[in-house]
Amino acid sequence: MNTLILKPQGGAYNLAWWPVLVGFSAMYLPTYYDLANGIWNSEDQAHGPIILLVVLYLIWAKRNLLQAPMSEAEPSAGASSSRTLAGWAFLGSGVLLYALGRSQQILLFEIGSQIPVLLGTLLIILGMQAVRALWFPLFFLIFMVPLPGLLVDAATGPLKQHISMIAETVLYAFGYPIGRSGVTLAVGPYQLLVADACSGLHSMFSLSALGLLYMYLVGHRNWLRNGILVASILPIAFVANVVRVMILVLVTYHFGDEAGQGIIHESASILLFMVAILLLFSLDWVLSIFFERHGRRSPA
């Protein structure tokens, strides 16, 4: 009894979260379990668990926020009750979305529902302040949702076409004996099929996640700078993927089919990531020169 009473207030507040934790676990632990035994094993969705861990870490980093006693508990009854109402609306619709998604195997709903569920919970229990502080991890959960099949089907074909075309044009300009028919590249005696995975659609998705995380962690205040970075993520991912396909073509041409299909194929995807990240960092560095000089000249 004594110990309970003597517990610091923060600790008691933390303990108060347990019903929420139990509820959330009941909803999403089965989801995570299924994902871990399912699509997280596929190359396309391998970033899923990483996104989850990042989100958990980002929330953990702001854990003192969750302990803060409700300072703005009832500042003005009107504002408070309307945000509670909004909170319940988010939580309620999120829970329904989840139930539909989980029972009918619509991953978009099942995984996407985490966002309204958490948003609603924060609004009900902590208020707007917490939502403002945690907006990024909430938003970042989007990247856990697999791209809808409709979008994948619509984007994969054109991406493959363009990548094959550019790879052919560039390598031809460098004097390689390369020809193309649709998405099949013929280089020397070899024929290479630019497969769906080569469209780089999913790597674009995960690179976008990485780029946005980088921006959030660096935390530039200048919105123009942020805007330029955001706008350049997809083009960078595309260029990196063209580079990857060209490297694979060159490896096949110089070292044979087996080299092109073997370990190099695997390492090329890692290379793709490194090239893209390097490009993004360099761009940010170039921007920093411009913006900081600019800032010094006109401090206003």
Partner 1 sequence: MKTIAPRFLLVGITMLAGAALAYALTPRHTVTDKGPKINLEAMLPDNFGDWGVDRTITPVAPPPDLQAVIDKTYDQTLSRTYVDKSGRRVMLSIAYGGRHGEGMQTHKPEICYPAQGFQIEKEAQMQTLETPFGPIATTRLVATMGPRVEPITYWVVVGNQQTHFGIRMKLAQLKYGLTGVIPDGMLIRVSSIDRDEANAYRLHDDFVRSMLSGMTSEDRSRLLGNSAS
Backbone CA torsion sign across 14, 19, 21, 22:
positive
Q: In the bound complex, what is the minimum distance in angstroms from residue 38's beta carbon to partner 1?
A: 11
Q: Which spans in 141-187 are helix H? A: 149-173
Q: Which of 185, 157, 155 is nearest to 169 (CA)?
A: 185
| Number of other CB atoms surrounding residue 247 within 10 Å | 19
- Which listed range, 41-49, 117-125, 213-221, 242-250, lies at the site for partner 1 (CB under 8 A)? 117-125
Q: Which of 50, 59, 70, 228 binds partner 1 (CB under 8 A)?
A: 70
Q: Distance between alpha carbon 224 and the CA centroid of its chain, in Å?
A: 22
**What is the DSSP code (8-state) at residue 8?**
-
- Which region among 131-139, 172-180, 193-201, 271-279 touches partner 1 (by CB under 8 A)? 193-201
Does residue 286 touch partner 1 according to CB under 8 A?
Answer: no
> Residues 194 to 253: which contact partner 1 by CB under 8 A?
195-196
Residue 265, classified by CB atoms within 10 Å of its CB into exposed (0-12), middle (13-18) or buried (19+), is middle
Q: How far is the CB of 170 from partner 1 (least distance, A)?
A: 22
Q: Is 13 one of the binding residues for partner 1 (CB under 8 A)?
A: yes
Sequence-separated contacts (24+) of 260-267 with Cβ below 8 Å: 260/190, 260/192
Distance CA 23, CA 287 (A): 45
Specify the residue, 27 or 178, whose C-beta has the smaller distance to partner 1: 27
φ/ψ bin of 175: left (φ > 0), alpha (ψ from -120 to 50), beta (otherwise):
left
Within positions 87 to 106, which residues make up the interface with partner 1, using CB under 8 A? 91-92, 94-96, 98-106
Q: Does 182 bind partner 1 (CB under 8 A)?
A: yes
Told to judge if 198 belongs to the known catalytic residues of this protein, a careful annotator would answer: yes
Question: Considering the rule CB under 8 A, would residue 24 count as an interface residue with partner 1?
Answer: yes
Q: Does position 187 bind partner 1 by CB under 8 A?
A: no
Q: How far apart are CA 187 and CA 38, in angstroms?
A: 37
Nearer to partner 1 by C-beta: 59 or 95? 95
Q: Which of 83, 102, 198, 221 is catalytic?
A: 198
| In the complex, minimum distance from the CB of residue 272 to partner 1, in angstroms, rounded to a whole number | 22
Residue 124, C-beta contacts closer than 8 angstroms, at least 6 positions apart: 84, 87, 88, 91
Out of 83, 221, 244, 293, the active site residue is: 244
Residue whose CB is less far from partner 1, 87 or 137:
87
Contact between 19 and partner 1 by CB under 8 A: the answer reads yes
Binding to partner 1, residues 127-156 (CB under 8 A): 149-150, 153
Shortest spacing between CB 239 and partner 1, in angstroms: 24
Q: Does 107 bind partner 1 (CB under 8 A)?
A: no
Task: Return all residues near 206 (Cβ < 8 A) that are at least 6 apart.
Answer: 47, 143
∠ CA 120-221-231, nearest 5°, is 80
Determine which residue in the list 45, 114, 121, 241 makes contact with partner 1, applying CB under 8 A: 121
Residue 114 Cα distances to 66, 80, 88, 205, 239, angstroms: 18, 23, 14, 19, 33
Interface positions with partner 1 (CB under 8 A): 12-13, 16-24, 26-27, 30, 70, 91-92, 94-96, 98-106, 117, 120-121, 124-125, 149-150, 153, 157, 181-184, 193, 195-196
Residues annotated as catalytic are 198, 244
